[in-house]
Amino acid sequence: MATASRVEGNWQTAKKTIRERNKFMFNNPLLSDVEFLPRGATDAKGVRRMNEATIPAHKYVLAIGSPVFFAMFYGELAETTDIIELPDCDSESLLELLRYLYCDEVELTGSNVMQVLYLANKYVVSSLAAECNDFLHSNLCPENVFAVLPSAVKFEDKILANKCWEIIDHEGNQAVKSEPFKCIDKALLVSVLERSTINCPEVHLFEAMMDWASNECKRRGCSDTGKEKRNILGEEVLYLCRFPLMAHDEFAKTVLDADVLNRKEVVQMFKYFAKISDDSLCFSTAARVEKSLFIRRFERYETFSTWKYVRKLKDFIGFSVDQPVKVRGVTLFGSEGGTYKVKFCFKKTSSTTNVFYKNVSFVSLLMEEEGYYGYDVMFDKPIRLSANKEYTVEALIEGPPSWRGLEGNCTQQCEGVTFTFLNENSPNGTSASMGQFPRIIFYKTVFRD
């Protein structure tokens, strides 16, 4: 048992609130009646390591914050030992759990949040679990998504898991190059390779798969060769890589050097690249792409209306969607042979911060399927929109008079997705019923907010 540390007399009088007094007792052996021995404090045989300190705590404080601790210390099968080993957590994460129980505070970081979330769920500290989830939702990125996803699945957090998959789909090229990807389990690797919506060149998916296999070779203590990697992956996983989507030179430089395909498979691929028919091809040729969809705002278009652009008068349109989508870009009207300078932005209506901004020149082309002249302003990457939130697309255009749209509707549908446009006039005259922005280019998503 930890011994009480030396403290000045009457220390309680300096702590005016129960919160201050509890905070003073955090990680303090004074009056402690239980100690924790976290992972790393013992060796493989369970013997305590030299100079490894235990973490002191107070049963009463823990019990009033966690039903699990209450049962552990005051239940019918209460612990009889005063030193409790916790091989499933490290000292940093355990201290954050205790900090929260003592102080209602937690210091989350990218390196400790998943372990703290694990402890919060293990000891049924729901409010701490909620804080961890809020942190994850705010800080989730391609570099850590594969560290977060397994825990989101384990704890059945569907919202967080969906957000992880959304990032993997949109920013897969970065995500599969991250260090956590090398350590995912085989089932998750299969899920990634099976996806037809992941935004990642096939050659990079293959390289990531090889990095995963190399890490697995190291973990198993076997040689890092093409043969061992193939054995570890198995044909059922190796065949999920869509080699026909690669360029001929990518296949030759990257896949052949990896030495994971047999002679028959290599011959099949070279026949495929040479466009020699081979019905025995064992690799999928299905593209990993999302179907572009279009919201068309107007029933008809006019060119003779001479829609003009007066300096510093903007065209804009506000809208919302009834389910999450990913917007890829917006079409603007032009004219035959016309060149336009455009300051374009896309933002949440309630925010002054632009989600996307572009200041560039465009040459208007005939949009053959639409029957008018125009040009597409494409975002650098798809922008995820939430359901029932208002967004605004805005353009300050300089150039000759253009086509315009007429007979627009406030609501438009495409493959089950409803866009609702706000019927207000922009400074240059665009509204839900007429003017600019004939199309919004978007992808559907299966994920819900």
Percent of the chain with pLDDT over 70: 93
* HEC secondary structure over the chain: CCCCCCCCCCHHHHCCCHHHHHHHHCCCCCCCCEEEEECCCECCCCCECCCCCCEEECHHHHHHHCHHHHHHHHCCCCCCCCEEEECCCCHHHHHHHHHHHHHCCCCCCCCCHHHHHHHHHHCCCHHHHHHHHHHHHHHCCCCCHHHHHHHHHHCCCHHHHHHHHHHHHHCHHHHCCCHHHHHCCHHHHHHHHHCCCCCCCHHHHHHHHHHHHHHHHHHHCCCCCHHHHHHHHCHHHHCCCCHHHCCHHHHHHHHHHHCCCCHHHHHHHHHHHCCCCCCCCCCCCCCCCCCCEEEECEEEEEEEEEECCCCCCCEEEEEEECCCEEEEEEEEECCCCCEEEEEEEEEECCCCCEEEEEEEEEECEEECCCCEEEEEEEEEEEEEECCCCCEEEEEEEECCCEEEEEEECCEEEECCEEEEECCCCCCCCCCCCCECCCEEEEEECCCCC
User: Does residue 319 have a pLDDT over 60?
Assistant: yes
Write down the pLDDT at residue 161. Answer: 86
Do 181 and 253 sit in the same domain of this protein?
yes
Model pTM?
Answer: 0.56
Domain C-terminal end among 81, 108, 135: 108
Do 180 and 244 sit in the same domain of this protein?
yes
Do 268 and 298 sit in the same domain of this protein?
no
**Residue 113 burial (10 A CB sphere; 0-12, 13-18, 19+):** buried
User: Does residue 98 have a pLDDT over 90?
Assistant: yes
Q: Are strands 34-38 and 83-86 parallel, antiparallel or unpaired?
A: parallel
| Domain residue limits at 322 | 293-444
Write down the pLDDT at residue 290. Answer: 65
Q: Does 128 reside within a domain?
A: no
**pLDDT class for 77, splitting at 50, 70, 90?**
confident
More confident of the two residues 352 and 401: 401
Write down the pLDDT at residue 264. Answer: 93
Do 338 and 409 sit in the same domain of this protein?
yes
User: Does residue 117 have a pLDDT over 50?
Assistant: yes
Do 99 and 223 sit in the same domain of this protein?
no
Q: Does 137 reside within a domain?
A: no
Give the chain's mean pLDDT. 88
Domain C-terminal end among 241, 273, 305: 273
**pLDDT class for 50, splitting at 50, 70, 90?**
very low
User: Does residue 448 have a pLDDT over 60?
Assistant: no
Do 23 and 103 sit in the same domain of this protein?
yes
Residue 415 belongs to domain with CATH number: 2.60.120.820
User: Does residue 192 have a pLDDT over 90?
Assistant: yes
More confident of the two residues 324 and 42: 324
Q: Does 3 reside within a domain?
A: no
Write down the pLDDT at residue 152. Answer: 82
Do 268 and 303 sit in the same domain of this protein?
no
Q: Does 279 reside within a domain?
A: no
CA–CA distances in Å: residue 245 to residues 166, 211, 264, 436: 22, 20, 19, 38
More confident of the two residues 446 and 230: 230
Cβ atoms of residues 445 and 166 within 8 Å? yes
Q: How far apart are CA 73 and CA 69, in angstroms?
A: 6
- What is the count of structural domains for the chain? 3
**pLDDT class for 151, splitting at 50, 70, 90?**
confident
Q: Tokens standing for 130? A: 């909620």
Do 262 and 303 sit in the same domain of this protein?
no
Do 229 and 353 sit in the same domain of this protein?
no
* Mean pLDDT of all residues in 140-157: 86
Q: How far apart are CA 328 and CA 348, in angstroms?
A: 15
First CA to last CA distance, the chain: 49
Domain C-terminal end among 245, 273, 301: 273
Q: Does 343 reside within a domain?
A: yes
Q: How far apart are CA 249 and CA 372, in angstroms?
A: 40
* Mean pLDDT of all residues in 107-127: 91
Cβ atoms of residues 67 and 124 within 8 Å? yes
User: Does residue 175 have a pLDDT over 50?
Assistant: yes
Cβ atoms of residues 435 and 424 within 8 Å? no
User: Does residue 403 have a pLDDT over 50?
Assistant: yes
Number of Cβ within 10 Å of residue 223's Cβ equals 10
**pLDDT class for 293, splitting at 50, 70, 90?**
confident
When mean pLDDT is compared across 6-10, 46-50, 357-361, the lowest value belongs to 46-50
Amino acid found at 273: F
Task: List the beta bridge partners of residue 376.
Answer: 331
User: Does residue 312 have a pLDDT over 80?
Assistant: yes
Write down the pLDDT at residue 1. Answer: 47
Q: Does 449 reside within a domain?
A: no
Do 360 and 267 sit in the same domain of this protein?
no
Do 306 and 416 sit in the same domain of this protein?
yes
- Tallying the residues shown for the chain, one arrives at 449
Q: Does 328 reside within a domain?
A: yes
Write down the pLDDT at residue 136. Answer: 85
pLDDT tens-place string over residues 359-384: 888 888 888 778 899 998 888 778 88
Amino acid found at 362: F
Q: Cα 209–210–215 angle (5° rounding)?
A: 100
Residue 103 belongs to domain with CATH number: 3.30.710.10
Q: Does 101 reside within a domain?
A: yes
Write down the pLDDT at residue 52. Answer: 59
pLDDT tens-place string over residues 216-273: 999 999 999 999 999 999 999 999 999 999 999 999 999 999 999 999 999 999 999 9
Q: Are strands 325-333 and 402-408 parallel, antiparallel or unpaired?
A: unpaired
Do 350 and 431 sit in the same domain of this protein?
yes
Residue 263 belongs to domain with CATH number: 1.25.40
* Mean pLDDT of all residues in 112-132: 92
* Mean pLDDT of all residues in 284-307: 84
